[in-house]
């Protein structure tokens, strides 16, 4: 069925989708719902407490059939199997892509270069658990004998966004006598504000960097060490206050962290897929090993679902394929992720790296420039705040913005009518976007004619609603894996390498060249006239 040598836009399913779009692209959701009273219940799928209502999409059964055919023609299943079985599908870096091994149960075997990686994964998890327990119980003491009260994760990108998102998401389950902060930006303000009210002898730094060479993280880590030593501690005290999370033992030792205090992971874990590796140490200290394992179980449950469930009922595949549908055929440029859960306030930011660093590519695996769009822009804010900010554009603007609403049946902080009000808003937004308000309805309210067009909601704006029972560690794992595999699905259809990130390199190299030019005012500048001019102004103004 699959012949991936045929370019995407030449595949039979693609051509059929083009024709199908011409037929139903303009059909209104009102008509789709009117002609099928079962649509709202039928077009949904559920796995282990994660319910996806995809009925408010501009799609019918034929659309889904064709999208699934496209997935088959694109070899989705085979590529997923290649990932799950440790093949080196990150071809530009010649690496396996095995974040799924990070949550594999002990009894599973997954081989990379002939070696089963699962025992190593569990060895690190056990080491993390022992360490976390010591910090949480107060047994791990700082150099003056005081217990650790503050944990600061120093990292950036995947070594920051996952930890900070998970900490915020699972704060409800966290040990409240510990303070957690996250330093990522090379802007000195980030570090200065993080430590401003902390005592060094009660503070533990987790230096999180896959490579242990990232400019921002190394700069912040050195500033952390200076700040710590300035408090009166000597070098020997560093071992009690700095641990490293990395794949690079050599650089960790060079920095001066005892490698006994290092938590390792592997080159087959991409930075943006690493929050359930040792990079999640801050999460484990916050919520405890049992909750961390519950989160891993959630990830794993979604992995199994993605690997084994028919595409018709496969949540990540459906979400990924619908994103393809809008990106390619409706020219949608973005996806809004709108969690109605304050604890998920950093979830959209986390997803931005996951989705855009993965699928922001312009060439195929074979190096050919694509003749279609790839990764859309993901963005969002928690509801209901967004409603009073940018929803206006989603409802009445000229762009089509597919939305993912995420809501929970139970709130974690029961407070009067708050949760019902919150959830009423999720349901109302999806309904308003899909069905809108016609001119007749606006007129019937007695609106003067000149005002009618301003008050019309044309509707037909698509959304998914993900409804989950409660935000638990397990549910968080399921949600993240849902998006990971949706991103994977999209990347396979687009025939791109979703696991490299060459696009971040050039800026890094140029910054390294410019740093000494800012520090030494006399050096000759050989950039373009704009960059030269900006540097001169900065030199004069600093
Ligand atoms: O921004 C590029 C990147 O390599 C990300 O992919 C990664 O998550 C981040 O930098 C941090 O890298 P490291 O963990 O090696 O410090």
Write down the pLDDT at residue 347.
98
Radius of gyration of the chain (CA): 25
Q: Please name the residues in contact with 37: beta carbons below 8 A apart, sequence gap of 6 or more.
A: none
Instruction: Select from 214, 350, 356, 487 the residue to mutate for testing ligand 1; criterion: most ligand atoms less than 8 Å from CB.
Output: 214
DSSP secondary structure, 29-86, as one string: HHHHHHH-TTHHHHSEEEETTEEEE-TTSS--HHHHHHHHHHHHHTTHHHHHHHHHTT
Q: What are phi and psi of 508, to 5 degrees?
A: -60, -45
Q: What is the mean pLDDT of residues 224-240?
A: 96
Angle at 203 between CA 201 and CA 204, to 5 degrees: 120
The answer to whether 366 is a known catalytic residue is: no
Q: Give the contacts of 363 (CB within 8 A, at least 6 positions apart).
A: 369, 370, 496
pLDDT at 334: 98
Chain centroid, CA 521 distance in Å: 41
Q: Whose CA is nearest to atom 9 of ligand 1?
A: 157
Taking CA atoms only, the protein residue closest to ligand 1 atom 2 is: 504
* DSSP output for 187-249: SHHHHHHHHTT--GGGEEEEEE-SSS--HHHHHHHHHHHHHHHHTT--GGGHHHHEEEEES-H
Q: Look at residue 474 and give its three-state secondary structure.
A: helix
Residue 468: DSSP 8-state: E
User: Cα of 487 to ligand 1 centre, how many Å?
Assistant: 18
Does ligand 1 lie within 6 Å of residue 352's CB atom? Answer: no
Please state the atom number of ligand 1 nearest to the C-alpha of residue 156. 11
Tell me what pLDDT residue 1 has: 62
Give, as one character, the DSSP assignment of residue 525: P
Q: Is 272 in the pocket of ligand 1 (CB under 6 A)?
A: yes
Query: Which pLDDT does position 530 carry in this prediction?
Result: 98
- Count of Cβ atoms closer than 10 Å to residue 516 Cβ: 9
Quick one: CA dihedral 58, 62, 65, 68, positive or negative?
Answer: negative
> pLDDT of 74-117, one tens digit each?
999 999 999 999 999 999 999 999 999 999 999 999 999 999 99
- The angle subtended at Cα 323 by Cα 36 and Cα 403, nearest 5°, is 75
Q: What is the pLDDT of residues 42-59, one digit of tens each?
A: 999 999 999 999 999 999
Cα angle 5, 8, 14; round to 5: 125
Residue with tokens 């695996």: 365
Ramachandran assignment for 320, one of left (phi > 0), alpha (psi -120 to 50 degrees), beta (any other): alpha
How far is 406 from 428, CA to CA, in rounded Å? 13
Render pLDDT for 431-446 as a digit per residue (tens, 0 to 9): 999 999 999 999 999 9
The reply to whether ligand 1 has any atom less than 6 angstroms from the CB of 275 is no
**pTM to 2 decimals?**
0.97
- What average pLDDT does range 273-287 have in this prediction? 98
pLDDT at position 63 is: 98
Whether residue 327 is predicted with pLDDT greater than 80 in this model: the reply is: yes
User: Look-up: residue for tokens 């949608």?
Assistant: 332
Q: How far is the CA of 279 from the centre of ligand 1 (A)?
A: 12
- Contacts for 36-39: CB closer than 8 Å, 24+ residues apart: none
Report the SS3 class of residue 529. Answer: helix
Structure tokens given for 87: 């093949």
């Amino acid at each position: 069925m699959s012949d991936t040598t045929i370019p995407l836009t030449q595949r039979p399913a693609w051509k059929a989708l083009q024709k199908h779009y011409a037929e139903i692209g303009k059909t209104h959701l009102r008509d789709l719902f009117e002609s099928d009273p079962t649509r709202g219940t039928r077009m949904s799928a559920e796995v282990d407490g994660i319910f996806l209502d995809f009925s408010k999409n501009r799609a019918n059964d034929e659309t889904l059939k064709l999208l699934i055919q496209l997935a088959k023609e694109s070899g989705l299943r085979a590529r997923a199997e290649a990932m799950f079985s440790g093949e080196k599908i990150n071809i530009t870096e010649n690496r396996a892509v095995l974040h799924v091994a990070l949550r594999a149960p002990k009894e599973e075997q997954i081989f990379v270069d002939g070696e089963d990686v699962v025992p190593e994964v569990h060895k690190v998890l056990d080491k993390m658990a022992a360490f976390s327990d010591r910090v949480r119980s107060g047994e791990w003491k700082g150099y003056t004998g005081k217990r650790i009260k503050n944990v600061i994760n120093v990292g950036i990108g995947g070594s920051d966004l996952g930890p900070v998102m998970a900490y915020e998401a699972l704060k409800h389950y966290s040990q409240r006598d510990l303070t957690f902060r996250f330093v990522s930006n090379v802007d000195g303000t980030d570090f200065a504000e993080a430590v401003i009210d902390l005592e060094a002898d009660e503070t533990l730094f987790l230096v999180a960097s896959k490579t242990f060479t990232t400019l921002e993280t190394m700069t912040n880590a050195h500033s952390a060490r200076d700040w710590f030593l300035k408090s009166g501690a000597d070098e020997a005290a560093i071992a009690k206050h700095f641990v490293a999370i990395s794949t690079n033992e050599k650089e960790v030792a060079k920095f001066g962290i005892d490698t006994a205090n290092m938590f390792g992971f592997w080159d087959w874990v991409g930075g943006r897929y690493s929050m359930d590796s040792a990079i999640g140490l801050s999460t484990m200290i916050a919520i405890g090993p049992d909750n961390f394992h519950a989160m891993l179980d959630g990830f794993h449950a979604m992995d199994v679902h993605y690997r084994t469930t028919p595409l018709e009922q496969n949540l990540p595949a459906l979400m990924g394929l619908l994103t393809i549908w809008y990106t390619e055929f409706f020219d949608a440029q973005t996806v809004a992720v709108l969690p109605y859960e304050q604890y998920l306030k950093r979830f959209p930011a986390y997803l931005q790296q996951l989705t855009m660093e993965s699928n922001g590519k312009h060439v195929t695996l074979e190096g050919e420039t694509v003749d279609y769009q790839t990764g859309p822009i993901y963005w969002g804010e928690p509801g209901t705040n967004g409603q009073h900010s940018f929803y206006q554009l989603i409802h009445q603007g000229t762009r089509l913005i597919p939305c993912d609403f995420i809501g929970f049946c139970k709130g974690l902080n029961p407070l009067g009518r708050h949760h019902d009000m919150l959830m009423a808003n999720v349901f109302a937004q999806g309904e308003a976007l899909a069905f809108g308000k016609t001119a007749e309805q606006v007129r019937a309210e007695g609106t003067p004619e000149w005002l009618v067009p301003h008050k019309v909601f044309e509707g037909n704006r698509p959304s998914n609603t993900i409804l989950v029972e409660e935000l638990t560690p397990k549910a968080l794992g399921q949600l993240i894996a849902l998006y990971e595999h949706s991103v994977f699905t999209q990347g396979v259809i687009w025939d791109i390498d979703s696991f490299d990130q060459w696009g971040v390199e050039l800026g890094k190299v140029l910054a390294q060249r410019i740093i000494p030019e800012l520090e030494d005012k006399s050096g000759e500048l050989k950039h373009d006239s704009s960059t030269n001019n900006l540097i001169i102004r900065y030199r004069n103004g600093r």
